[in-house]
Structure 1
Amino acid sequence: MSTAPVLTRSQLLRLGVALSFCATLPMRAAAQTQEAKRMNTRPIPATREALPVVGCGTWIGFDVPPASAEYQRLPGVLDALFAAGGTVLDSSPMYGRSEAVTGDLLAASHRRARAFLATKVWTPGHDAGIAQMEQSFERLRTDRIDLMQVHNLLDWRIHLKTLRGWKDQGRVRYIGVTHYTASAYAEVEAVLRAEKLDFLQINYSLDQREAAQRLLPLAAERGVAVVVNLPFGGGGLLRQLRDKPLPGWAAEIGCTSWAQVLLKFVLSHPAVTCTIPGTSRPEHMADNAAAGSGSFPDAAFWLRHEASLRP
């Protein structure tokens, strides 16, 4: 008749610790996997504040009536953005209902504190500019806007003067200018050289690379953060690539869609701080956000695969 071994108290304690550790292994592995997929951040040069590299633009997608089916999808867009570690929501008074919809969604979900809110002033004149920006505060339901930008350089001298005062007062945290077309790059460059700015928002994509010639290097030299709009070239490039098989090398850089490839290209430029592809669909937001994790290839990588990037 055999006798079971008797464990001492210290052996029992060690066994309990070991079993507890083993029980947590699946959770630890899941946490590490989630952490590995967490979105990268890059420092805003003016303050070194970390900014997640993929945000969400609200043009068109957020300009929808509150009772519409399109509106009902938008809380899921914010869920996907925040779940991936993103924070940046970019809007403008020229985007119709987008500012108000953004403010309503954040208020309803009590997540204003999680968002980096960027919007713009887009009107001529000192008083008109102040009135429009005050309206943006109301629509976004906030008493402080993270980034206020002069949209398309419209009356930028007047508005930047106002914004510097508001920045000193703490009403806005950062100021900048925007544009979206290469025909304006000479003026954008002149403003970058003449003014002290925190941010430049500009178009840059695989099929619209002109900003990389002078503006992106100048922004880096001047310590200006860069937000890239139109990373899909206005959407035309993505539509052209949609039916083309994803190249085998996409897996090497952690991409499972053409959208991720195009965003990785934009984020591979060292001067780029963040990109803001617009969407109104949660699944597209999640797909876009995934491009912000992992590493970003160097210029030589993209040069090697140039041919397979053509539609």
Structure 2
Amino acid sequence: MPVSRRVVIAAAALAPLAQRVSYAAEPLIRRPIPSSGEMLPAIGIGTSRRYEVEPTPDRIAPLKDAVETFVSLGGTVIDTAPSYGSAEDVLGAILAETGLREKIFLASKVDTTGRDATLAEFERSLKRMRVDRLDLVAVHNLIDVPENLAVLRDLKGAKRIRYVGVTVWRDNQLDALEAVMKREALDFIQVNYAIDNRAAAERVIPLAADRGMAVMTNVPFGRDRLFKAVQGKELPAVAKDLGCTSWPQLFLKYVLGNPAVTCPIPGMAKAAYVADNLGAARGQLPDPAQRKQMEAFIDAV
């Protein structure tokens, strides 16, 4: 039986209200985009799967609540893509209804080939999200990197986007990502990285630090793989030392314990998940010894 996120954060949801309000008032950890120095809150929202719903008021309502909660608690980064089904349309409806566009660092992608097709896809993303510019556009899954980066750099020069990057989400793409990073000047990379999937930390994330590239990390929960692994288990002692009240916070604090990581982007489709996840971007982060303890614990489950 699948393990729901509801199960693993139930205890956190029962925390005293006054304690949660006080914790939420603590500012989020922020990290710089190396190419500009702009500071970003260290947790964002990823819209893959979770926001791929029918764009009707009843289906959008909980997602709108999640986005409003996210912004109210200090979050800004929201990442989407034209290939995420209806996610761009859903996000556009939320932005139009809430008027929150200027408070959001809005990221999307291109995943087609050929200049004309890429420009058309970019314009379609703007239309779907009901905006006139994007903060970041990345080449999705390294598709036609030279041509697509050329298009994105032209759009950056025209001030229609502010940053360019590339993305992957599987370990078998890491060698190709490393090669692109060595030959291209990029503002961002996006890569898969989690406490039980640490391959990106061996070469790619250190290379990003050396090359002055911001690092977004996707699938920080392994598409619920980690929640299944810890079902029925108590948080380890290191969680208390770090102020973690839930498994998601522990998993995200591990990722943020790598100083070269700019912003993990877990999927967050409910306000309760937003409040819980953002707790990872407050307070103490694990030092190298604590990260080793966390790795040892998860490797043993």
Global fold match (TM > 0.5): yes
Distance 2:244 2:23 in 1: 16
Conserved 8 A contact 2:195-2:295: no
Distance 1:206 1:57 in 2: 18
Please tell me the residue identity of whatever aligns with 2:179: A
Conserved 8 A contact 2:55-2:89: no
Distance 1:70 1:279 in 2: 14
Are 2:73 and 1:84 equivalent residues in the alignment? yes
For residues 13-58 of structure 1, give each alpha carbon's deviation from its aligned partner in whole angstroms, at most 9, with x where no partner exists.
Answer: xxxxxxxxxxxxxxxx99x946762211101001100101001000
Q: CA RMSD in A?
A: 1.7
Residue of 240, 261, 265 corresponding to 1:272: 261
For residues 172-206 of structure 1, give each alpha carbon's deviation from its aligned partner in whole angstroms, at most 9, with x where no partner exists.
Answer: 00000000111111110111010000000000001
Describe how 1:85-100 pairs up with structure 2 within 5 A.
Answer: 85-100=74-89
Residue of 165, 183, 191 corresponding to 1:176: 165
Please tell me the residue identity of whatever aligns with 1:256: T
Please tell me the residue identity of whatever aligns with 1:207: D
Structure 1 residues 74 and 84, CA gap change in structure 2 (3 angstroms): same
Distance 1:193 1:308 in 2: 34
Aligned residue number for residue 117 of structure 2? 128
Conserved 8 A contact 1:37-1:290: no
Please tell me the residue identity of whatever aligns with 2:285: F
Distance 2:228 2:24 in 1: 32
Aligned residue number for residue 65 of structure 1? 54
Structure 1 residues 306 and 229, CA gap change in structure 2 (3 angstroms): closer
Q: 1:119 Cα deviation (Å)?
A: 0.3
Aligned residue number for residue 196 of structure 2? 207
Q: How many residue pairs end up in the alignment?
A: 282
Conserved 8 A contact 1:36-1:294: no
Residue of 170, 175, 180 corresponding to 1:191: 180
For residues 54-107 of structure 1, give each alpha carbon's deviation from its aligned partner in whole angstroms, at most 9, with x where no partner exists.
Answer: 010001111111336442211111122112211011000110110111111011
Please tell me the residue identity of whatever aligns with 2:230: L
For residues 240-284 of structure 1, give each alpha carbon's deviation from its aligned partner in whole angstroms, at most 9, with x where no partner exists.
Answer: 213211123312111100000000000100110001001211111
Aligned residue for 2:224, secondary structure, equals helix
Q: 1:305 Cα deviation (Å)?
A: 4.2
Aligned residue for 1:95, secondary structure, equals coil
Are 2:248 and 1:259 equivalent residues in the alignment? yes
Distance 2:268 2:231 in 1: 16
Distance 1:143 1:242 in 2: 44
Conserved 8 A contact 1:39-1:289: yes
Distance 1:244 1:139 in 2: 42
Conserved 8 A contact 1:36-1:293: no
Distance 1:213 1:72 in 2: 41
Q: 1:135 Cα deviation (Å)?
A: 0.3
For residues 195-235 of structure 1, give each alpha carbon's deviation from its aligned partner in whole angstroms, at most 9, with x where no partner exists.
Answer: 00000000000111000010000000000000000111222
Aligned residue for 2:154, secondary structure, equals helix
